[in-house]
Amino acid sequence: MTTYTFENNLEYALSLDDVDILHSFRERFHFPQHDGNDVLYFCGNSLGLQPRSASWLFQKELADWAKYGVEGHFQAENPWMHYHHQFSTSLARIVGADTSEVVAMNTLTVNLHLLMISFYRPTQQRYKIIMEAGAFPSDQYAMETQVKMHGFDPNEAIIELTPRDGEYCLRDEDILQAIKDTGDQLACVMMGGVNYYTGQLFDMPAITKAAHEVGALCGFDLAHAMGNVPMQLHDWDVDFACWCSYKYLNSGPGGVAGIFVHEKHGNNPDTLRLAGWWGNDESTRFKMKKGFIPAKGAASWQMSNAPVFNMIAHKSSLDIFDKTSVAQLREKSLKLTAYAEFLLQPLEAAGIFEIITPKEPHRRGAQLSLLFKDKGRAAFDHLTAHGVVADWREPNVIRIAPVPMYNSFEDVYRFADLLQQFLKGH
C-alpha cells in the first residue's frame, strides 16, 4: 500500500498536477462556469461532465440521418444496425470481461429487473436475497417487487445488512458470515459494487465466492463502481451485473446503461431471459419467424434496437477511456482522494464532521462523505455560492467525488480551503 507525504499549500497542489500524466484529460470536458471560471466540480458520482467531442458526434449522426434516412442503419459511418457493437471492447476492458459478456442497452433499473427475472428463480426452500441496507432506492424497490412477483413477503425474503452499532460501513467479515448463515435459503446476493452514500467499495470477489459456496447466485449494481474502480468480473465468476453510464462514464443524463452476464449463463440457451427481437441471433433476426433463438452472450438480453442518439455521448466518453486504463485512473484516484482526506483531517479532528467513507484506501471509491454534526447545509450553501458543485444528502452529509479523469489536485486544495474559510467564520 502506497504511503503519501502531502503538504497543505497551493504550490504543492500545483506541483502534483504538473507531474500528473492524466492532467491534460480535463481539457476534454466542458466545465460549468461560475463568475467566469470553471467550477470546482465534485459531483461526478451523480452526473459526469460532458465530453467536448459529444457535440461533434451528435452532429455527425444527425448528418447521417439527414443524408441516408432509414438506410443509415446500413450506410451511416457507424451503421445503426450494429451500433451497440462498438462499445463491447471498451466496456469489457473496464469491467474485466470477455466482449461477449457485456452490452450497452436500456437504463439501469430496467436492466436490473431483466437480470433478476433471469437470475432470481426462487423455490420454497431457496428464496432469500441479501443486499446492503440503505442501498439506492431503485435497488430497494426492484428487490421488493421482484420478491412480491414470486409470491414472497419482502420482510421475510430480503435480508438487509446493516453496519454494527456506531459504524457507518459494513465489515467484510459480517457480509460473508451473513451469506454463510443464510445457507441453502439464499437464492441471490445483489449488492452495490460501491455504496452510493458512504463510498464503500465492497469485496466483490469474496462476496461472489461466498455466495457460490452456499449454492446461490451473485450480482452487483455497479452504478458507482463503473469507471471508478478496477474490476475483473469474469475472473471473479460474478454471475451478472448492471450499471448506468451517466456518472463516472460521463455519458449524459439518462445515458444508455449496460449489463454483464458471465459466459456460463450467456452462452447457455436454457438460461431464462425475456425475449425481444434485438436479443435474437443476428443471422436470423430479420427472417421474422416465430421461435426466439438467443444471440451469444449478454447481447441476448437486448429487447429493442439500439437508441443511437442516447448512445452518442457514451461513445464520446468511452473514446477517452480508451486512451488510458482503469489502472491508471485508479492510481490517480487513490492519491487524489488521499490528498482530500489529508486536507480535511484537521477539520475532522476538531469534530466539525466525520468522514464516514472507509479510511482504508482499498475499501473506497473516488468519494468522501462528510457527516456534519451541524451547519452542514450552511457549509454546502457556502460552497455552492463560491463555485463548488458537490452533493447534499440527508440528514447532514456532503458527498464529494474527486474524479481522476478531470479533477485536479488544485481543485481538491481549493475545495478544502473554501470549507476552512467558511468554518473559521462560523
First to last CA, the chain: 38
Rounded mean pLDDT, 263-276: 96
- Give the per-residue pLDDT at 286: 84
Residues 355-390 as b or e (16 or more Cβ within 10 Å = b): bbbbeebebbbbbbbbbbeeebeebbebbeebbbbb
Rounded mean pLDDT, 22-40: 98
| Residue 374 identity (one-letter amino acid) | D
| CATH code (residue 224) | 3.40.640.10
Please determine, for residue 300, whether its predicted confidence score (pLDDT) is greater than 90. yes
- Give the per-residue pLDDT at 1: 65
Claim to verify: residue 113 and residue 171 sit in the same structural domain: yes
Secondary structure element (H or E) that encloses residue 92, with its range = helix 88-95
Please determine, for residue 425, whether its predicted confidence score (pLDDT) is greater than 80. no
- Give the per-residue pLDDT at 287: 85
Claim to verify: residue 255 and residue 404 sit in the same structural domain: no
With respect to residue 66, please indicate whether it lies within any of the assigned structural domains: no
With respect to residue 154, please indicate whether it lies within any of the assigned structural domains: yes
Domain boundary among 304, 321, 338: 321
Domain boundary among 282, 301, 321: 321
Q: Distance from CA of residue 391 to its chain's centroid? A: 16
- The SS3 call for residue 127 is coil
User: Given pLDDT bands bounded at 50, 70 and 90, which one contains residue 2?
Assistant: confident
User: Given pLDDT bands bounded at 50, 70 and 90, which one contains residue 136?
Assistant: very high
With respect to residue 35, please indicate whether it lies within any of the assigned structural domains: no
Claim to verify: residue 314 and residue 389 sit in the same structural domain: no
Rounded mean pLDDT, 229-233: 98
Please determine, for residue 3, whether its predicted confidence score (pLDDT) is greater than 90. no
Domain hosting residue 294, numbered range = 84-321
Claim to verify: residue 368 and residue 420 sit in the same structural domain: yes
With respect to residue 175, please indicate whether it lies within any of the assigned structural domains: yes
Secondary structure element (H or E) that encloses residue 149, with its range = helix 137-149
With respect to residue 48, please indicate whether it lies within any of the assigned structural domains: no
Average pLDDT, the chain: 96
With respect to residue 416, please indicate whether it lies within any of the assigned structural domains: yes
